[in-house]
């Protein structure tokens, strides 16, 4: 557990939920930007071009599938690094799926 996992005492459920949503968005942005940076290095284009390609792919799952395909076939990346990147991609996909499931089922009831 990190300081980011802690919720201040005395908050009602709505306030706790809003803090968690904000943290989720910040975490998502940090992970997406890291994956986007790796993507830009793998396709060998200036960041502006890589961003256009990355953002043109609407689905997060499709972006991560493309990233993994590039990583998997890149011979300059050590197998250990590939395994670590695969773990990050899989963990991010699971985390996002859990958060979205929670949000779509619970948050509408909490915020009304």
In this predicted model, which residue has the larger pLDDT, 27 or 37?
A: 37
Note the pLDDT tens digit of each residue in 26-36.
Answer: 777 778 888 88
47 against 84, higher pLDDT: 84
The SS3 call for residue 75 is coil
Cβ-based burial of 67 (10 A; exposed 0-12, middle 13-18, buried ≥19): buried
pTM, full prediction: 0.65
Is the Cβ–Cβ distance between 43 and 56 less than 8 Å?
no
Helix/strand number for the chain, H first, E second: 4, 0
Given a cut of 50, whether residue 91 has pLDDT beyond it is yes
Higher pLDDT, 1 or 25: 25
| Nearest-angstrom CA–CA distance, 90 and 95 | 9
d(CA 109, CA 103): 10
What contacts 43, CB < 8 A, 6 or more positions away? 49, 50, 53, 70
Q: What is the pLDDT of residues 42-81, one digit of tens each?
A: 887 665 678 888 888 888 888 889 999 999 988 888 999 9
105 has a pLDDT exceeding 80? no
């Amino acid at each position: 557990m990190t300081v980011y996992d802690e919720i201040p005492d005395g908050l009602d459920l709505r306030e706790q939920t809003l803090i968690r949503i904000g943290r989720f968005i910040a975490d998502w942005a940090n992970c997406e930007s890291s994956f986007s940076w790796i993507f830009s290095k793998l396709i060998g284009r200036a960041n502006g071009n890589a961003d256009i390609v990355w953002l043109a792919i609407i689905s997060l799952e499709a972006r991560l599938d493309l990233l993994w395909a590039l990583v998997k076939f890149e011979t300059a990346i050590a197998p250990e690094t590939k395994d670590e990147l695969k773990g990050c991609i899989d963990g991010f996909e699971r985390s996002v799926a859990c958060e979205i499931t929670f949000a779509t089922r619970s948050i509408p009831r909490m915020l009304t």
